[in-house]
Structure 1
């Protein structure tokens, strides 16, 4: 049996050994030198003139004086002399004057990169991370919960032209993405092959206006606050419902989100003169007004003065006399 331990070369006490404390203290000195190994330097070529007790150094090639011939070894001052220990595979040391972490590998001290302040390390939970996916999780579900109040998931990008989004994949091929990709507008887009993408919905960051580049289809009844409601526009962009409708004593109207308006009514003309039709909803400018009279008689409808809020209507027979008859009238224009 060897007199030294296998890994750290600590001396063993021998049976019936005299002055056991000497051997024991030598082992403690070596432990003190090796545990929490932090050395003063790895480049000092010669021993310092007055080393502090316990001072430790990694010896460079060509070291001189009392260090001569000990390149690569760990030297420590035991208070009276230099002691030398040969490093083993995997030993680690921290160099104080360089703030560098080293590991003994392949017969030399190799530097281990330290993370800079704020640098993220790679972390894999049940799967392997990589340089892009530094945090990787393989699980049936991932829970992010509150710590007593609310909880936000924040996805930040450096500039407007970068991407901050959630990407949904099938077999590692993109199928849907939502977020701000390439600009600050929020968009939802889909793909059938991971190569070609179609934007189904986008929300303008400047106005909040929703765009449907591929159009929209409503299966079932045309209803809901986003379809029927109050239309509106701001800076040429729709900010309300798709359609607005209404009716009253002067007829009915339909407004479209793009600014188009239609008004219609059935009124009775007068044999005494013109009839003024006030539209059920005002136009932004005089609309185009047309109509027809009731069938069964040779009658013609004529439109007189047309304004943004009303139009003059008359009905005539074939000999040029005004007649009283039912007339269907339609006005088409814009509400903005």
Structure 2
């Protein structure tokens, strides 16, 4: 029989276990940290001097003090002290300090990155996959310099936004 759950390593109760409330409470503390997580900041290496119960952080790459050996983990302060969770691919937290989300991609935390296949606003697809390059206007029998400037500006804006590949 397993001692922990396979994904988040939450402690499981054993048949005939004494003091089951301790195992149960530990599992609830870890669930409180991971369900709809919100962190105070991403990447500090030192624990804060006076954390409040329920606050959490994503530990930086060079942790010290109580966080030593916990790089990249989700650290939460509880009445019983620090609790740590190893992130799993797809974990998303909200960073209060950065006012954006942060995702674990399996090897590092990605702050503020949004990955998707399209952007839909009010039911209308406004951004999709990048299109092929558009050739710059050139030549022709009649050169309209103002029209060419406008076309170049539109093409440049589309390229700057990554919607059209550079030619």
TM-score range, shorter chain: 0.5 to 0.7
Secondary structure of the residue aligned to 1:110 is strand
1:27 pairs with 2:27: yes
Partners of 2:6 and 2:45 in 1: CA distance: 30
Q: Which residue does the alignment assign to 1:130? A: 129
**1:61 — aligned with what?**
61
Residue of structure 2 in register with 1:9 after alignment: 9
> Counterpart in 2 of 1:88?
88
For residues 113 and 61 of structure 1, the distance between their equivalents in structure 2, rounded to whole angstroms, comes to 19
Q: Unaligned stretches of 5+ in structure 1?
A: 115-119, 133-160, 164-336
> What's the CA shift for 1:112?
4.2
Query: TM-score, normalised on structure 2?
Result: 0.67
Structure number with greater CO (CA < 8 Å, separation at least 6) is 2
Map of 2:102 onto structure 1: 102
Higher helix share: 2
The Cα of 1:55 is off from its aligned counterpart by 1.2
Aligned residues: 130
In the superposition, the TM-score normalised over structure 1's length comes to: 0.35
Q: How far apart, CA to CA, are the structure 1 residues paired with 2:59 and 2:65? A: 12
Q: Which is greater in Rg?
A: 1
Partner of 1:43: 43
Q: How far 1:10 sits from its partner (Å)?
A: 1.1
Higher strand share: 1
Q: Aligned in 2, Cα 1:25/1:106: closer, same or farther, shift over 3 Å?
A: closer
* Superposition pairs of residues 69-218 of structure 1, within 5 angstroms: 69-113=69-113, 121-122=119-120, 129-131=128-130
CA contact (8 A) 2:8 2:86 kept: no
